[in-house]
Structure 1
Amino acid sequence: MILSKATFQSFSWLYAPQKTAIIFAFRTLIASYVVLVIALWMEMDSPRWAIMAVWIVAQNASRGEVLSKAYWVIVGNITGIVVSLIIVASFPQQPFLFDLAVALWVAFCCWVSSCTRNFRALGMVMAGYSCAIVLFSSVSDPNQTFMMAMSRGSYFIIGILAENFTARLFDLNLHNQAHKKLNDDLLLAVEEGVKSVSKMLDGNDWAVAQSDKLLSSIMALNNNIEFREREMKGSGHRGDHARAVLASVSGVLVKATGFSIHLKQMQKDVLNFHYIVPLTQTYLGKLLEHLKAGTPLDETLKALNALRWECRQRIADSFYKNLGKPQATNEDYARKTLNDRILYQSLREILAELEVTLRELSQSRDLSLHDNFKFDIKPTFDFRRAWRNAIRAFFAISVGCVAWEITGWDHGPLFLAFLCMGCARFCIFENATLACWGWFKGACIAIVVGGFYNFLIMPAVSNLTFLFSLLIIPLGIGALAMCVPRLAPVASTYAFFFCYMLGFANEGRVDEISFFNNASALFLSGVCALVSYRVFFPYRARRIRRQMRLKLLKGLHHLANPTASLPLAREWVGAVTEALVILMRQLNEDRNTTLIKSYRHGSMAVMLIGINIIRLRHMVDHDIMTEDIKDILRVVLRRIAAFEGRKAKYARYARTVMIAHRAIARFRQREATEKNLAVRIEVSAAISSLILISYALDKNASFLRVKK
């Protein structure tokens, strides 16, 4: 009974769809009908490609995403058409070089799309398989390649324009809605960040472990800002302010994580730090109330600034208040005052980052603001994944071309066109094997449903009105399924190929022989792609996780290398956050909670270690510290550059952690006797960073110990 009820509920998307899904299905069906009528009225040679273009662009997402997708699909389509003309002109009577050129071009498109983000990747995918479609559709008569290119290009452009025109009918007051949605998302991110800081002040370690969820949502929102900017075109640089808000929230979380470690280690060995904690928590509570009420942030920023100055005054008092008094020479008293200063400074840094967050949030809300502010973070590229996708596509297409040359199958070009389409499409997905399997299932469903309609339904169709009414069920179900994330890969492939298998035309329906040949070409292309992606670099979640851990460890080694270029702190946070999101997706269905917790803490530790390495390197590069202090820091950095996580769980016996602890001990002695106030402040900051680095290395050794 429980199983049947769960099964019944799993189909709720079909019998009880959401309002957005119904609107999406309705507008996509209208766009499909409009473009099909236009293609039939213009008596185009293959109208099905026009309706297929609608389903390529169709997406149940924000208007900005649809606009971006349409733009890059058109750019990719034009690029592919131009390349197809170059290839056919270069190798008119050389089949081997012709096939090699197509395989290399699709492989190149796979490589580039694996190194790009959002729908730019889809644009390169489109450039790959639109070129293959044009070339293999005209391979029997190369003189018709230009007309074929113009025809296929026209289909795609007509379909995309029809879908966008129809979608615009459902978008009212798009500019203001986009701005409101962006503000709501930013406000939610800031509120969650403030809540996490408040929990960390309470000593809640679980708040640190849960920070990855907030960072994942920040990463997703950061990717969506590009689409909001398209919706708010001509509204200044609010997208840049929004990116600055999200980067600052990430910085608040990282600094709060470091503060929680300091608090955990020092809370029983301080003088008067606990005085400031309730004041900060009271302020954070009032800040949340102001954010929810949507009131101006001027008064809130004044209160925040006063709290920051309170921390600064406490630090200054600890330096000057007891100078010359007997207790100032007491070792226990000196240690506690230093701990106070470290905690006050750590809290002050959180408040400073929070102030930046609130100021940027206020500017992103201002509709009248038109400044020249720019903010961006350099993306990181996974070249290993890019090369693997390119090699897979090249070998799959090459084998398909050889098979066609040997057999001489008259539907071989169609088989190769579908194979190129699949290989180019799969490289967008993180798990290419899973995407390939979804593609294959969608194609098989399209073959079955298309066969049913071709043999039993289409012979009875006599006019377009009757045809449109019959298509509501198969295309409507496909559109509703596309709104369900777990079904979207299968549903989008099904809807796309169902339109192809139905073969709309003015002169009649698809005959049985043609249908079986088309179905065979589609089915075999799916099988060939599946085999290729199972043989060449098969997907293994454990291997991907290991590669990401190794990438993070190499990133730490690079940061600690004194000759390496030093990135901005926000760039490091962004890179590690992206790796963290990928790792969490790999562990999404893993029931091993211990493993998940280890990866969460490990990724956050890497982020924290990297931030503090950047700080130490800045200290070494500046002229405030004396050379003897810099030499100690250089030794620590050299050890971190060679750290491999071996035996770090034994704390003081691990060489890197042991050296860091020795440096902390020496710096504590130096800080207590140093006469230069500027040097003393820098030494305190170095002690703070070294404590965080040694703690993170020690507690996350298993994560950083990547076996070769």
Structure 2
Amino acid sequence: MRWGPATLYSLKTAAAAFAALGIALAIGLPMPFWAMTTVYITSNPLSGATRSKSIYRVMGTTIGAAVAVAMVPALVNWPALLSLGLASWVGFCLAVSLLDRSPRAYVMMLAGYTAAIIGFSSVDRPEAIFDTAAARVTEITLGIVCITVAHSIFWPLSVGDRLGPRLHGWLDDAEQWMRDAVAGNPDEIADRRRLAVDALDCIALATHVPYDTSHWREATRVVQALLYRMLLLLPLLSGSVDRRAALGDDAVLEEALASTDRWLEAGAPPEVPDYLHMAPPERDWRGLLRESFLVRLTQSATVIAECRQLLARLDNPDVRVPDELVAERIPLKLHTDPGSAVLAGLAAMFALMLICTFWIWTGWVDGAGAAAMTAVFCCLFAALDNPVPAIINFGGSIIASVPVAGVVLFGILPHIETFEMLCLVLLPICLVAGVFMMHPRYGGTATAFMVGFGSGIAITETYTADLARFINTNGGQVVAVAVAVGVTATFRKVSSESAIAVLVKRLHADLAVLAGARTPPDPNRTLVRATDQLALITQRLTDDSDLSVAGLGEVRVALNLVTIQHLRVNAPRAPRVALTRLLRTARDHFATSQPGDAPPPELLGQIDKALRLTLDGPMPLPETAGELIGTGALPHALIVANRAQGRAALVAMRRNLFPAAPAFALEGPSPEVTA
């Protein structure tokens, strides 16, 4: 963390918080501290991220307030039914939000726990529910406007300032990977898998680009095209590495390898070497491996060159790129887990019903606060495999703020007479917390501290402080943490190993669906989903265990299956029948086997038979490269030669599924696979 930018960020955030608090006090809003707390919840160092989060927060708050207004007056006379209604709404909203891993998910999550906050706090005064909801929406909107203005006008930090260097660094790493493939260096698989995680991180960060304050906002389509190519490079480069390792030293490839070195040293210009004409076609297994390597090398170089062009456009808006590079919007839909989403929703619902039952049974005066905070704790970290440590850390930070809030509330605020004096008293605490909000490790802790501190002092237009109520209210937060942790640990605690096993199994299920599709699947969605699953697996790995086997190889298999599906549709009868049998066997294998199981030997024979047919005659392919490799945004990028491309997909399938198999035989049945 750099202290200069962190201090500037803290000053801007504190100024926005005091502005929101001052305006709320001036216009007589009932709970001005909500506006101040909202500033710290919404604030983000990136102006684009702050703006996008602000929009979603206003939408979610409004929806949640409307649900509370509709539900509380109708059910207030039936406490159990009202509790069930609000708990069901929170659980439903949480489950829906987890089915969308973009920032849009914030809308439904906030709609859930906002209804709980407003609804539970209004059960004693249901006739004032509309005023309470209107105040909540107004004060939150005020806080959002203040923080958005502060981060948009005063020294804004662009998303491009953060994303640009990451994209450059990622592409540099990809080019180094290509150099390693050309040189035949051992593949550092752990480092290469990290590229998948980094690519998905860039995709998540890029969701804020449309709300940015720089020229990147007008280049959203360029960013999307670049991100797609980054994902595409992962299987292409890993395939190149695999073929190169299988070939070893090969004098025939010397010209191609030297040309690649010169091309990379020249800065990866758009003119890609004509690799396929640098080696004579041969009909033996080594010749097929060599051809497959050159196909993947051509594709990798083409995509890297296009990435360089797109990145240059992002660096300088005056740079022109060919229209076909950004001709089509590419969907970047990420993987979701409906089962985990439903389980998280049920856990939140059960936790709320448990705390509400205790509240109703004991007649606890301040049980509403505990119920509301239980909803918040269950929702905020539901996307994690094991939310318990995060809930404990966040809840503990809120609880840790209580003594500080108590000292300020009872020892200092009684002597404050003006708003200016109030700001001076609060400024040191706000500045220190704001600085630590920029810290990658302590940012969440600092935010939680400010949420607890703002709610603890609960500044209103008239000073009122009740020690018994202060202790009772904040004691409710301890109960909320305990209930959220207990229920979540019962419903949701999943080890990293179990999560990886589930992801690998789901990846194999997706491969079965791809192989069994009657019509060629959409390669765009296939690539994004498979790469995202690889990134999710990688994020959970602590070492290179056997669970990491289903990595880049499965992503390559997914794209090869899609390519073979397209080949099957356009092939003559004999190869079409061979490819259909191949796909059927692959479907049965992936649908019934466990991760790590060897494919059936007959699949090897079917791949070899299809390979022989590509040697005997042409294998017609789709006319456009968009159909071939899955994106209309690449009309010329990856098409190299009909028979070469068809053979490359089959050779890749053979290498990915049977890496230890004997060499392909031009005549006769394939040899048996040995262990």
TM range (shorter): 0.7 to 0.9
Matched to 2:281, the amino acid is: S
Whether 1:640 and 2:586 are equivalent positions in the alignment is yes
Structure 1 segment 380-529 matched on structure 2, within 5 A? 380-529=335-484
Per the TM alignment, residue 700 of structure 1 is displaced from its structure 2 partner at its CA by 11
**3-state SS of the aligned residue for 2:187?**
helix
The structure with more helix, counted as a fraction of residues: 1
Unaligned runs of at least 5 residues, structure 1: 1-12, 289-299, 320-332, 702-708
Per the TM alignment, residue 606 of structure 1 is displaced from its structure 2 partner at its CA by 0.8
Whether 1:693 and 2:653 are equivalent positions in the alignment is yes
**3-state SS of the aligned residue for 2:517?**
coil
Residue in 2 that maps onto 1:152: 136
Q: Is the 8 A contact 1:443 1:494 kept in 2?
A: yes
Residues 170-203 of structure 1 show CA distances to partners (whole Å, capped at 9, x for unaligned) of 236x7xx555665544333333222211111111
Pick one of 273, 277, 288 that aligns with 1:313. Answer: 277
Whether 1:572 and 2:537 are equivalent positions in the alignment is no
CA distance in 1, matches of 2:286, 2:508: 34
Residues 506-562 of structure 1 show CA distances to partners (whole Å, capped at 9, x for unaligned) of 322422111111111222111111111112232322221111111111111111113
Q: Is the 8 A contact 1:648 1:697 kept in 2?
A: no
Q: In structure 2, do the counterparts of structure 1 residues 345 and 453 end up closer, same or farther at CA, with 3 Å as the change threshold? A: same
TM-score normalised according to structure 1 size: 0.83
Per the TM alignment, residue 683 of structure 1 is displaced from its structure 2 partner at its CA by 6.1
Residue in 1 that maps onto 2:635: none
CA distance in 1, matches of 2:27, 2:175: 59
Whether 1:602 and 2:518 are equivalent positions in the alignment is no
CA distance in 2, matches of 1:163, 1:362: 32
CA distance in 1, matches of 2:382, 2:660: 33
Let me know the Cα RMSD of the aligned residues. 3.0
Per the TM alignment, residue 51 of structure 1 is displaced from its structure 2 partner at its CA by 1.2
TM-score normalised according to structure 2 size: 0.87
Q: In structure 2, do the counterparts of structure 1 residues 665 and 271 end up closer, same or farther at CA, with 3 Å as the change threshold? A: farther
CA distance in 2, matches of 1:128, 1:335: 60
Q: Is the 8 A contact 2:292 2:651 kept in 1?
A: no
Per the TM alignment, residue 364 of structure 1 is displaced from its structure 2 partner at its CA by 4.4
Pick one of 112, 136, 157 that aligns with 2:96. Answer: 112
Matched to 1:379, the amino acid is: L
Q: Is the 8 A contact 1:560 1:641 kept in 2?
A: yes
CA distance in 2, matches of 1:101, 1:153: 21
Per the TM alignment, residue 376 of structure 1 is displaced from its structure 2 partner at its CA by 2.8
Per the TM alignment, residue 154 of structure 1 is displaced from its structure 2 partner at its CA by 1.2
CA distance in 2, matches of 1:583, 1:700: 25
Whether 1:531 and 2:486 are equivalent positions in the alignment is yes
Structure 1 segment 21-60 matched on structure 2, within 5 A? 21-59=6-44
Matched to 1:36, the amino acid is: L
Structure 1 segment 213-252 matched on structure 2, within 5 A? 213-232=194-213, 238-252=219-233
Matched to 2:360, the amino acid is: E
Residue in 2 that maps onto 1:273: 253
Q: Is the 8 A contact 1:129 1:421 kept in 2?
A: yes
Q: In structure 2, do the counterparts of structure 1 residues 558 and 238 end up closer, same or farther at CA, with 3 Å as the change threshold? A: same
Per the TM alignment, residue 277 of structure 1 is displaced from its structure 2 partner at its CA by 1.0
Using the TM superposition, name which of 69-78 and 215-224 deviates more.
215-224
Residue in 2 that maps onto 1:620: 568
Q: In structure 2, do the counterparts of structure 1 residues 667 and 531 end up closer, same or farther at CA, with 3 Å as the change threshold? A: closer
Per the TM alignment, residue 205 of structure 1 is displaced from its structure 2 partner at its CA by 3.0
Matched to 1:641, the amino acid is: R
Pick one of 176, 198, 202 that aligns with 1:195. Answer: 176
**3-state SS of the aligned residue for 2:330?**
coil
Residue in 2 that maps onto 1:343: 293
Q: Is the 8 A contact 1:241 1:373 kept in 2?
A: no
Pick one of 352, 355, 362 that aligns with 2:302. Answer: 352
Unaligned runs of at least 5 residues, structure 2: 622-640, 662-675
Q: In structure 2, do the counterparts of structure 1 residues 22 and 431 end up closer, same or farther at CA, with 3 Å as the change threshold? A: farther
Residues 252-289 of structure 1 show CA distances to partners (whole Å, capped at 9, x for unaligned) of 23112112212222345x6723321111111112116x
Per the TM alignment, residue 114 of structure 1 is displaced from its structure 2 partner at its CA by 0.7
CA distance in 2, matches of 1:205, 1:238: 38
Residue in 2 that maps onto 1:87: 71
CA distance in 1, matches of 2:100, 2:524: 20
Q: In structure 2, do the counterparts of structure 1 residues 110 and 339 end up closer, same or farther at CA, with 3 Å as the change threshold? A: closer
Residues 613-658 of structure 1 show CA distances to partners (whole Å, capped at 9, x for unaligned) of 11111111113xx4333333233322222326969989xxx552x2
CA distance in 1, matches of 2:450, 2:316: 43
Residue in 2 that maps onto 1:559: 514
Whether 1:662 and 2:605 are equivalent positions in the alignment is yes
Using the TM superposition, name which of 498-507 and 177-186 deviates more.
177-186
Matched to 1:539, the amino acid is: V
Per the TM alignment, residue 356 of structure 1 is displaced from its structure 2 partner at its CA by 3.7
Residue in 1 that maps onto 2:121: 137
Q: In structure 2, do the counterparts of structure 1 residues 338 and 69 end up closer, same or farther at CA, with 3 Å as the change threshold? A: closer
**3-state SS of the aligned residue for 1:272?**
helix
Pick one of 246, 258, 282 that aligns with 2:239. Answer: 258
Q: In structure 2, do the counterparts of structure 1 residues 566 and 164 end up closer, same or farther at CA, with 3 Å as the change threshold? A: same
Per the TM alignment, residue 394 of structure 1 is displaced from its structure 2 partner at its CA by 0.6
